[in-house]
A and B are shown apart, each in its own frame.
Chain A
Amino acid sequence: MPERNDDAYWKANIRLVLSLLAVWFIVSFGAGILLVEVLDNIRMGGFKFGFWMAQQGSIFVFIVLIFVYINRMDKLDERYRRSGSDREDSMQ
C-alpha cells in the first residue's frame, strides 16, 4: 500500500511540474524569443507586445508560476500526509 501512495503523490507532482514548465517555456522562449517579431505587431500602450514580454512580462509570469506551485504543493502535501498517517494507524 505505501508504495502506491507514494507513487500517486509523485505522479501528481510530476504532472504539476510539467504543466508549469510548459507555461514557463511558452512565455520566455516562445513569446520572448521565437515569436517576438510576430507579437511585436500588437501594441500595448507604449510597448510592442513581444518586446514587453521579452523584457518584463515573462518575469511577472515566472513569479505567478512559482506561487501557483507553492499553493498546489501545499495542498498535495496536506492530502498525502493525511493518508500517510492513516496508513500508519491501520498498521498498528
Chain B
Amino acid sequence: MSVQFWTFFFVILTFGLYIGIAIWSRVRSTQDFYVAGKHVPPIANGMATAADWMSAASFISMAGLISFLGRDGAFYLMGWTGGYVLLALLLAPYLRKFGKYTVPDFIGDRYYSHTARLTAVFCAIVISFVYVCGQMQGAGIVFSRFLEVDIVYGVMIGMAIVFFYAVLGGMKGITYTQVAQYCVLIFAFMVPAIFISILMTGQAIPQMGFGSQLTEAFGGGYLLDRLDGLSEQLGFPAYTEGQRSMQDMFFITAALMIGTAGLPHVIIRFFTVPHVRDARRSAGYALIFIAILYTTAPAVAAFARTNLINTVDNVEYSAMPEWFNKWEATGLITFEDRNADGLIQYTGDAATNELDVNRDIMVLANPEIAELPNWVVALVAAGGLAAALSTAAGLLLVISSAVSHDLLKRAYMPEITEKEELLFARMSIFMAVLVAGYFGINPPAYVAQVVAFAFGLAAASFFPAIVMGIFQRRMNRHGAVSGMIAGFSFTALYIIYFRFINPAVDNADNWLFGISPEGIGSLGALLNLLVAWTVCRFTPEPPAEVQALVADIRRPEVD
C-alpha cells in the first residue's frame, strides 16, 4: 500500500481520536476550563506537558538543525531540557501552592498591582502568539507535503480540529488530547529512529546506536568517527567539534533554559494537578517523556547526516532515488550541476558545493532515505501534526485565559458571572484560533527569527519576576515592574536591532560580549534582577497581607 494511503489512514485515525476525546471532555465551569478542575493525575500531566512543550520545531526541525550544527546543537538539547530542572525546583510547586489559574494571576496578586498584572498579560499574549503562528504554519507544511493538500486547507483543517476540542473542553479537553498526542508523536518519532539504528548499527536503542560501530554495509568503525571523517573529507568542520564561541554557547543555553521555565503555557500545566507534590512529580515525568525524544534526536541527527552524505556524494544525479526528486519538487532540496559532470558534489566550500538541503528534510525524509516501509514513512505526518496541534492548543488557552480571566474578570469587568466568563473564554479562543490561522496561511517572513523573541522575552520578563516573588519576601511591586520592563525592553530592542533594523551587522564582532540575539535573553534576565533589586531597596516593603501570601506559599501543603 502506498505512502499516501497510510498517511491518510494515520491522520484520519488520530484526528478521530482527538475529536472523540473532545466530546468526552466537555466542561461547564471556569475551574474546569482553565485548570481541568485540578484533577489531572501527575503521569497524565507529565505526558500532556511533554506534548505541550514539544512543538513542530522539536519534532520536525530540531534533529535536522543538530545534524547541521554538530556538537553546537547541544544548546537546544541542554537548553530545552535543563529548563525543567529550574521549573521543578524553583517554580512549579510554589505556583501550584498559590493555587490560581494563570501566570498574570500570580504576578498581579503577588505584586498587588494593576500595572504588574497588565504587564504580565501583555507578555503572555505576545509570547504565545509568536509561538502559535509557527505551529499553525508547521501543521500547514505537513498537510501540504504529505497529503498534497493546499497549505490553506491544511491550516484550516488544523484550526478546525484545535478549535473543536479547545472550545468544548478548555484545559480538560486540551490535557487529554495532549496525552493522546504525546503517544502519537513519540511513536512516530521513535519507530523510524529504531529502524534506522538497527539498520546502521545493529543496535535497537538509538541512544546506544549513536555511540556504536556501523555495520559492514555502512563501512564499519564508530558512527561518530566515521561522520567526523566524512565531514572533514568534504570540507565541513568535524561533526563532534564546536564552531560557536564558548560564551555564546553559554548564554544561548542559559537563555533557552530560563526561557523554557518562563513560558506561560508550560507553567500553567502545573496548575492542573491536585497537590503540590503532584506538581513536582509531573515535572519529573514530563522531563522523562521529553528526554525520550531529546536523547534520540542527536542520534537521528548523526544517522541522517551520515546517510545523506553516503547517498548523494559523488553519485550520478540520474541515479538518485525517488525521494530525492520528490523533495526537490518542494524546493527543500536543490541541486545545481555547476561543473556539468552529472555527479552531485556536496561540499563545505560554497564555491564548489552543488547541493542545498533544507534542515527539515532530516526528519521528514529520513525514513525514505533509509528505505523504511511505507507505513513508517507515513507515521511522520501524523507525528508532526500531533506535535504542532498539541502545542498550539496549549498556547491558545494561555491567550484565552489572559483575555477572559486576567483582563476582563480580574481587571476591567469584575462583576461578570462565572457563566459569562466561560463564554468570554470560549469566544477569545475562537478569536485566537482565527488570528493564528491567518498567520499560519500568511506567515510573516521572519517566523523562525521571532521564536528567539519568545524565549528571550519569557526569560527576561516572567522568570525573574516569579522567582523573586517566591524567594524574596521583600520584593515589592516597584522593583518587580521596573525589572520586568527593563528586561523585556532590553531584550526586545537587542533582537529587533540585530534581526530587523540592521541585520548586516548581526555577527560576533558587533554583539554585546559576543552574545548572539538568541542568547541575549539570559542577559535580559540578569538585568531584570539587578534593576528589581536596586529599585526595591529604595522603595517601601510590600504590605503585610502580601508578605503573608509569600509565607504561605513557602509552607508545606496540608492535605
Contact = CB atoms under 8 A, between A and B. Distances in A.
Contacts of A24: 82, 85
Contacts of B223: 46
Contacts of B253: 28-29, 32-33
Contact-size category for A: 35 or more
Interface in B211-259: 211-213, 222-225, 240, 242, 246, 249-250, 253-254, 257
B294 A76 contact: no
B280 A73 contact: yes
A46 B88 contact: no
Given A58-B78, A66-B85, A74-B277, A40 B250 contact: no
B287 interface: yes
A73 B276 CA distance: 10
B224 A69 contact: no
Interface in A41-92: 44-48, 51-52, 54-56, 58-60, 62-63, 65-67, 69-70, 73-74, 76-77, 80-81, 84-85
Given A29-B253, A32-B78, A69 B554 contact: no
A70 B223 CA distance: 37
Contacts of B558: 81, 84-85
Contact of B90 (A17, A47, A85): A17
A65 B254 CA distance: 18
B65 interface: no
A59 B78 contact: yes
B71 A77 contact: no
Contact of B554 (A10, A32, A34, A48): A10
Interface residues of B, number: 49
Contact of A6 (B77, B212, B287, B555): B555
Contacts of A76: 556
A73 B240 contact: no
A29 B252 CA distance: 11
B448 to A, nearest CB: 22
Interface in B250-293: 250, 253-254, 257, 276-277, 280-281, 283-284, 287-288, 291
Interface string A14-45: 00010011001000110011101000100011
Contacts of A52: 211
Contacts of A21: 85, 89
B556 A9 contact: yes
Contacts of A58: 77-78, 81-82
Contact of B287 (A32, A33, A51, A62): A62
Given A34-B246, A54-B77, A63 B287 contact: yes
Contact of A55 (B74, B82, B283, B554): B74
A48 B434 CA distance: 49
Given A33-B250, A55-B77, A62-B82, A67 B557 contact: no
A46 B220 CA distance: 12
A80 B242 CA distance: 48
A54 B211 contact: no
Which secondary structure dominates chain A's binding surface? helix
A85 B82 CA distance: 36
A70 B78 contact: no
B521 to A, nearest CB: 16
A32 B298 CA distance: 14
Interface string B47-91: 000000000000000000010000101100110011011001110
Contacts of B517: none
Interface of A: 6, 9-10, 13, 17, 20-21, 24, 28-29, 32-34, 36, 40, 44-48, 51-52, 54-56, 58-60, 62-63, 65-67, 69-70, 73-74, 76-77, 80-81, 84-85
Interface of B: 66, 71, 73-74, 77-78, 81-82, 84-85, 88-90, 93, 207, 210-213, 222-225, 240, 242, 246, 249-250, 253-254, 257, 276-277, 280-281, 283-284, 287-288, 291, 294-295, 298, 551, 554-558
Given A51-B240, A58-B81, 20 more contacts: A24-B85, A33-B249, A33-B250, A44-B211, A46-B213, A46-B222, A47-B211, A54-B78, A55-B66, A55-B73, A56-B207, A58-B78, A59-B78, A59-B291, A60-B295, A63-B284, A63-B288, A66-B85, A66-B280, A69-B89
26 contacts: A10-B554, A17-B89, A28-B78, A28-B257, A34-B246, A46-B211, A46-B213, A46-B224, A47-B210, A56-B298, A58-B78, A58-B81, A59-B81, A60-B295, A62-B85, A65-B85, A66-B280, A66-B283, A66-B287, A67-B284, A70-B277, A70-B280, A73-B93, A73-B277, A76-B556, A77-B557
